[in-house]
């Protein structure tokens, strides 16, 4: 097993730009929680507050033409892959201007033009298609990489294992990003996975694996750059484990009765990737507030955009069933 | 006109498309050196090589899912699922993924994936290797479903299925692989959604699929000798259904029998019957008869298996009942 | 030797007729060729002549609907025995469910079934499985009938409760209804005793009315278009007046309609595409113009035909027309008076209708609607003149005719009306 080479150091400027994006995702998701509680958003919403560094670090390591498949916790991945907050928010409001034109919703965010092949609401459901997309790149000799996001919970489902096995067997240019946020919905890792180190999942398939601190933007980014490069160069897929924390419930409104008291508070104080990145950047209060104002305006604007969007006609439901 | 077996006809469609189109490849279990468990892909590895004739691990979810991913990227993969019983393993990928990507993306994606599979009783494999599960898939918006009953149809329909921009489940019947038919020199694509009237008749319409097309033709011949003129219609494409041809036929004959090998209860025939009763209610002169397997898993012992699945005499019985004769 | 008088088939597609009344009574002497009874078919009410001479020994069916081929009377020598079977009233026959009602049976399967039934009759009799022993048609007040049987019954006004089903479980199937249709109508149920005067009046359609309804509905399926022109009728009126003057006493005087018939016939010969039938994806063009004219009668509209109108002189057309119209009004048209029209003219001018659109008379491909002659101001070469104008509206089946062909035909009609000398 050749080790994945380490390269791709993050400059201060890039770091600052990525930080702004993480902050945008955070403010966006806080707004989503707020609007959901206000009764404006239909459906079922999962925010990824606490996991912003993984979304930004991985997606920013990709190049144009690379594709991702996401999960039910997809707002961050979608924004980080380049979808405008307006289009994302419009989707959450069920508008035609939404990135899935009102047909998908929070759990089915697509933006094919920007390489987002779709958020998947079936745990592990998107991994086989990532193998297939990567296989197509290989068939056509295109230097592109396909990335699958999935959680620790998905490492226990058959599709994940079949996909890892097939991906490695056929040596496709794919990166499997396991966002280990330590909770499968309400079930802690101790109750759903018998091993501590999820990177060992890859060992059975002879697949390269890397582990990064998912709360550390720089580490995620640098790890992802190397993993993607490894896959792109034809050396096979990589299992990229990002250990992270979900600083909210499973879904918006989740009372989290299953979570030990105080755990969340402590994690928010010690494991917030935004705070960590801000500290590393040594941003002054003024600098932070300026960035914050900027992204908050974007988010507010996205709500305005979404609310004034076009409702589909009921019978639009009949469209797009077949090509 | 060359004579092709059903097996050769399927192979001919695959090879024809693969010769002309680099975007098409096939993958499945045991399809390379072995040539597929039914021998359909024999010789294709030699012609097209292991990249395009991809032997896969026993991973139905992954190979269907990989087909989806490649299809989304613009290729036209053909996945072989060895037995349709094993489609159940990939059901999530077929139903939640392949059928819905286009819809969930608001029309951004298309999934030009073909899944070939086969099933059918008559050789005592028992309960897990011969089911007819087409009714599961015709119920899913976003999928198209084909069930070819003759070499000509298999060849022309598979070609069209591969070039279809939507996922297609292409059912083949195990006991039909050996039947032969003269086929056109040049492959003639057959549009999806067009039924084939195998035989015209005036008194009873039999809508049959798969093996039961042949059983129904035999029954029709027998009925003819008894003075009953039977029209046999094979929908060929189960989804979308050629309602017009079926309804037109029933309006002419005023009687309808639906026949398939799958279990009768909740079967495809129930949908045909529903369409017919709704669109031709005032033309019906007898209740619509359904012919299908009894509501049991497939038994092993040949005598039981033979009894459970329908044959020509079951179709004949149904035909007789529609004209008011004792068809038992 | 007694001769059975059977209901004749008097036209293509005639399945039955309704006996209106007998013109001879039982015991009366009848000569072959003498009118024997009045029959209402779906096309016309007519007198039917006796096809044998002798004494009318027996009238088997007094009135009502009778299928073609059924014996309705017996003519023979005075005192001759009337065969027993023929004396059976048709109502009784319907109950017996035997061969005569085969007419109209749709499914060959049925014949086959009877054959089989006969073969197996011995066994069936023993097991009691014969038709009579089948389940009752009516269960808990609900009549068991197939949807097709119900539809036919609904369309033909058959009361299903009067029928006995021969299908599985006693179900009334289409064949049962068709058999009932072919049989004489059962006696009407007695009317409710005291009907309120405000009650809606329900009139059962006569055969003629049904035919009209059916044909007009059929006509409505054709993709039609209309074109209209006005003809200056001054010359036509002049010539007609001259001809009227010259018509001997007792002969039919030519009318504007007659001029029109003649003119249309001549125009049809010049435009054979219009003198045609369209049916079953073929066009039939005719070498002669048989011009039908719509005649209103108190029984409904009939369209008697003036044959070879293109070859008849105006006086001959007038004679033929007068005969047909008077017989139409008396209900005495024969089948042959109605058959074979290649074109139809409908004239409502006498009612003061200025212009109207006639409904196609399939399989003919065109029909001409003619309005009243009215004095109208016309500008000719800058001068205002008062001219007698008549509107001509041609309805065409677009499947058979294109607009230009129709226009050329209508232009010929107009120019011939404006200078009838060219046609007469």
pLDDT tens for each residue of B262-293? 999 999 999 999 999 999 999 999 999 999 99
Cα B80 from chain centroid? 14
Residue C290 annotated among the catalytic residues of the structure: no
- Is residue B316 a contact partner of residue B223, using CB atoms and an 8 Å limit? yes
Q: Determine the pLDDT at residue C83.
A: 64
Task: Give the Å distances, CA to CA, from B4 to B13, B35, B176, C403.
Answer: 11, 17, 12, 53
Q: Determine the pLDDT at residue B23.
A: 97
Q: Determine the pLDDT at residue C16.
A: 82
Q: Determine the pLDDT at residue B73.
A: 97
Residues 6+ apart with CB under 8 A from A140: none
**Looking at C51, C97, C323, C398, which residue is catalytic?**
C398
In angstroms, rounded to a whole number, what is the distance separating the alpha carbons of residues C351 and C344? 18
pLDDT band, residue C198 (cuts 50/70/90): low
Higher pLDDT, C108 or B294: B294
Query: pLDDT tens across B48-72, in order?
Result: 999 999 999 999 999 999 999 999 9
Task: Give the Å distances, CA to CA, from B189 to A243, B164, B198, B213, B214.
Answer: 53, 11, 18, 20, 22
B115-126 CB burial, b ≥16 within 10 A, e <16: bbbbbbbbebbe
In angstroms, rounded to a whole number, what is the distance separating the alpha carbons of residues C364 and B83? 61
**Residue numbers in A near B81 (CB within 8 A):** none
Contact A133 B144 (CB under 8 A): no
Side-chain half-sphere exposure of A151, counting CA atoms within 13 A: 26
Q: Compute the mean pLDDT over every residue in chain C, rounded to the nearest whole number.
A: 79
- On whether the pTM is more than 0.80, the answer is no
- Is residue C74 a contact partner of residue C5, using CB atoms and an 8 Å limit? yes
C300 interfacial to chain B (CB closer than 8 Å):
no
Kind and range of the H or E run holding A178: strand A174-180
pLDDT at C196 over 60: no
**Residue numbers in A near B107 (CB within 8 A):** 101, 103, 319-320
In angstroms, rounded to a whole number, what is the distance separating the alpha carbons of residues C178 and C101? 9
Reply yes or no: is the peptide bond before residue B246 cis, omega within 30 of 0: no
A317 interfacial to chain B (CB closer than 8 Å):
no
Kind and range of the H or E run holding B200: none
Q: Determine the pLDDT at residue C99.
A: 38
Query: pLDDT tens across B217-245, in order?
Result: 999 999 999 999 999 999 999 999 999 99
Q: pLDDT by residue for chain A (323 residues), tens digit each?
A: 445 655 567 889 999 999 999 999 999 999 999 999 889 999 889 999 999 999 999 999 999 999 999 999 999 999 999 999 999 999 999 999 999 999 999 999 999 999 999 999 999 999 999 999 999 999 999 999 999 999 999 999 999 999 999 999 999 999 999 999 988 888 888 899 999 999 999 999 999 999 999 999 999 999 999 999 999 999 999 999 999 999 988 888 888 888 888 888 899 999 999 999 999 999 999 999 999 999 999 999 999 999 999 999 999 999 999 99
Cα B312 from chain centroid? 18
Name the residue among B228, B281, B283 with its Cβ closest to that of C109. Answer: B228
Reply yes or no: is the peptide bond before residue C363 cis, omega within 30 of 0: yes
Q: Determine the pLDDT at residue A262.
A: 87
> Which DSSP string corresponds to A274-322?
HHHHHHHHT--HHHHHHHHHHHHHHHHHHHHHHHTSPPPPGGGGGTTS-
Q: Determine the pLDDT at residue B313.
A: 97
Contact C168 B321 (CB under 8 A): yes
- 3+ Cβ–Cβ pairs closer than 8 Å linking A and C: no
Least Cα distance to B118 among B171, B179, B190, B186 occurs for: B171
Q: Determine the pLDDT at residue C11.
A: 66
Q: Determine the pLDDT at residue C140.
A: 64
- Averaged pLDDT, B83-104: 97
Contact C147 B226 (CB under 8 A): no
B321 interfacial to chain C (CB closer than 8 Å):
yes
Residue B164 annotated among the catalytic residues of the structure: no
In angstroms, rounded to a whole number, what is the distance separating the alpha carbons of residues C132 and B26? 64
DSSP C146: -
pLDDT at C139 over 70: no
pLDDT band, residue C135 (cuts 50/70/90): low
pLDDT band, residue C190 (cuts 50/70/90): very low
Query: pLDDT tens across C292-305, in order?
Result: 998 888 777 888 99
ipTM of the complex: 0.91
Q: Which of A292-296, C261-265, C313-317 has the highest mean pLDDT?
A: A292-296
Contact B70 A113 (CB under 8 A): no
pLDDT at C268 over 60: yes
Task: Give the Å distances, CA to CA, from C78 to C6, C28, C58, C86.
Answer: 20, 9, 11, 17
Least Cα distance to A68 among A57, A84, A85, A81 occurs for: A81
In angstroms, rounded to a whole number, what is the distance separating the alpha carbons of residues B94 and B110? 14
Q: What are phi and psi of B283, to 5 degrees?
A: -105, -10
Least Cα distance to A320 among A139, A96, A127, A167 occurs for: A96
**Residue numbers in C near B254 (CB within 8 A):** 106-107, 148, 174
């Amino acid at each position: 097993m050749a080790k994945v080479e380490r390269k791709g150091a993050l400059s201060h400027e890039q770091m600052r730009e990525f930080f702004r994006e993480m902050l945008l995702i955070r403010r966006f998701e806080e707004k989503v929680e707020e609007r959901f509680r206000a009764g404006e958003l239909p459906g079922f919403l999962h925010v990824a507050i606490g996991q912003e560094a993984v979304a930004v670090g991985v997606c920013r390591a990709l190049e144009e033409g690379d594709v991702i498949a996401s999960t039910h916790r997809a707002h961050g991945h979608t924004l980080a892959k380049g979808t405008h907050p307006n289009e994302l928010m419009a989707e959450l409001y069920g508008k035609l201007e939404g990135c899935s034109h009102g047909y998908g919703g929070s759990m089915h965010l697509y933006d094919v033009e920007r390489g987002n092949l779709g958020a998947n609401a079936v745990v592990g459901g998107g991994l086989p298609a990532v193998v297939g997309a990567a296989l197509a790149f290989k068939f056509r000799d295109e230097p592109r990489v396909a990335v699958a996001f999935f959680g620790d919970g998905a490492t226990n489902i058959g599709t994940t294992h079949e996909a890892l096995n097939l991906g490695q067997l056929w040596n496709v240019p794919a990166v499997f990003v396991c966002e280990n946020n330590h909770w499968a919905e309400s079930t802690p890792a101790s109750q759903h996975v018998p091993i501590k180190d999820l990177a060992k999942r890859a060992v059975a398939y002879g697949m390269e694996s890397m582990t990064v601190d998912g709360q550390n933007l720089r580490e995620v980014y640098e790890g992802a750059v190397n993993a993607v490069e490894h896959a792109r160069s034809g050396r096979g897929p990589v299992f990229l484990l990002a250990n992270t924390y979900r600083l909210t419930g499973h879904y918006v409104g989740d009372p989290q009765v299953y979570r030990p008291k105080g755990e969340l508070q402590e994690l928010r104080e010690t494991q917030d990737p935004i705070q960590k990145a801000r500290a590393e950047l040594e941003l002054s209060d003024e600098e932070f507030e300026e960035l914050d104002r900027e992204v908050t305006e974007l988010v507010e604007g996205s709500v305005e955009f979404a609310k004034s969007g076009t409702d589909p006609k009921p019978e639009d439901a009949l469209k797009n069933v077949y090509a | 006109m060359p004579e092709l077996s059903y097996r050769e006809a399927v192979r001919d469609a695959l090879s024809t498309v693969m010769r002309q189109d680099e975007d098409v490849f096939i993958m499945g279990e045991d399809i390379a050196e072995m040539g597929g468990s039914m021998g359909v892909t024999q010789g294709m590895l030699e012609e097209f090589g292991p990249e395009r004739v991809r032997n896969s691990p026993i991973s139905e979810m992954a190979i269907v899912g990989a087909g989806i991913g490649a299809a989304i990227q613009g290729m036209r993969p053909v996945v072989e699922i060895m037995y349709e019983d094993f489609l159940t393993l990939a059901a999530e990928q077929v139903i939640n993924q392949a059928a819905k990507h286009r819809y969930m993306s608001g029309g951004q994606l298309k999934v030009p994936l073909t899944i070939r599979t086969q099933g059918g009783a008559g050789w005592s494999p028992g309960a897990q290797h011969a089911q007819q599960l087409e009714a599961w898939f015709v119920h899913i918006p976003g999928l198209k479903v084909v069930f070819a009953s003759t070499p000509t149809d298999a060849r022309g329909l598979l070609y069209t299925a591969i070039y279809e921009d939507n996922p297609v489940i292409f059912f083949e019947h195990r006991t039909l692989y050996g039947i032969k038919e003269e086929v056109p020199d040049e492959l003639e694509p057959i549009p999806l959604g067009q039924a084939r009237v195998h035989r015209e008749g005036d008194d009873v319409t039999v809508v049959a699929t798969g093996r039961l097309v042949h059983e129904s033709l035999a029954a029709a011949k027998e009925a003819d000798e008894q003075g009953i003129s039977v029209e046999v219609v094979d929908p060929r494409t189960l989804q979308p259904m050629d309602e017009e041809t079926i309804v037109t036929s029933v309006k002419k004959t005023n009687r309808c029998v639906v026949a398939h090998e799958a279990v009768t209860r909740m079967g495809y025939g129930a949908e045909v019957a529903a369409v017919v009763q709704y669109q031709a209610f005032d033309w019906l002169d007898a209740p619509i008869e359904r012919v299908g397997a009894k509501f049991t898993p497939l038994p092993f012992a040949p005598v039981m298996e033979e009894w459970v699945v329908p044959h020509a005499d079951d179709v004949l019985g149904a035909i007789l009942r529609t004209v008011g004769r004792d068809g038992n | 030797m007694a001769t059975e008088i059977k209901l004749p088939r008097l036209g293509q597609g005639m399945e039955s007729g309704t006996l209106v009344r007998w013109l001879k009574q039982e015991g009366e002497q009848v000569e072959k060729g003498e009118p024997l009874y009045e029959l209402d078919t779906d096309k016309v009410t007519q007198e039917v002549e006796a096809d044998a001479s002798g004494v009318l020994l027996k009238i088997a069916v007094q009135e009502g609907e009778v299928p073609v081929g059924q014996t309705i009377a017996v003519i023979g020598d005075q005192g001759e025995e009337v065969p027993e079977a023929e004396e059976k009233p048709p109502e009784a026959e319907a109950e017996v469910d035997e061969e005569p009602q085969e007419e109209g049976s749709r499914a060959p399967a049925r014949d086959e079934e009877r054959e089989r039934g006969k073969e197996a009759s011995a066994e069936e009799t023993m097991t009691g499985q014969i038709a009579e022993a089948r389940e009752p048609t009516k269960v808990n007040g609900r009549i068991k009938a197939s949807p097709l049987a119900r539809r036919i019954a609904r369309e033909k006004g058959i009361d299903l409760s009067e029928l006995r089903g021969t299908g599985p479980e006693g179900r009334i199937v289409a064949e049962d209804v068709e058999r009932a249709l072919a049989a004489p109508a059962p006696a009407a149920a007695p009317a409710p005793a005291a009907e309120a005067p405000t009650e809606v009046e329900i009139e059962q359609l006569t055969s003629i009315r049904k035919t009209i309804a059916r044909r007009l509905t059929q006509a409505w399926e054709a993709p039609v278009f209309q074109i209209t022109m006005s003809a200056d009728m001054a010359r036509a009126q002049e010539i007609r007046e001259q001809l009227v003057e010259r018509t001997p006493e007792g002969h039919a005087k030519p009318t504007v309609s007659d001029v029109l018939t003649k003119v249309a016939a001549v125009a049809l010969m010049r435009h054979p595409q219009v003198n045609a039938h369209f049916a079953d994806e073929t066009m039939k063009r005719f070498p002669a113009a048989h011009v039908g004219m719509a005649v209103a009668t108190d029984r409904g509209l009939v369209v008697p035909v003036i044959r070879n109108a293109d070859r008849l002189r105006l006086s001959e057309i007038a004679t033929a027309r007068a005969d047909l119209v008077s017989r139409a009004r008396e209900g005495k048209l024969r089948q042959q008076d109605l058959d074979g029209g290649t074109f139809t003219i409908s004239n409502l001018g006498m009612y003061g209708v200025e212009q109207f659109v006639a409904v196609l008379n399939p399989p003919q491909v065109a029909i001409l609607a003619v309005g009243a002659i009215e004095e109208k101001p016309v500008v000719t070469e800058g001068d205002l003149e008062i001219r007698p104008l008549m509107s001509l509206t041609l309805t065409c089946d677009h499947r058979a005719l294109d607009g230009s062909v129709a226009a050329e035909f209508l232009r010929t009609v107009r120019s011939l009306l404006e200078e009838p000398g060219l046609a007469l």
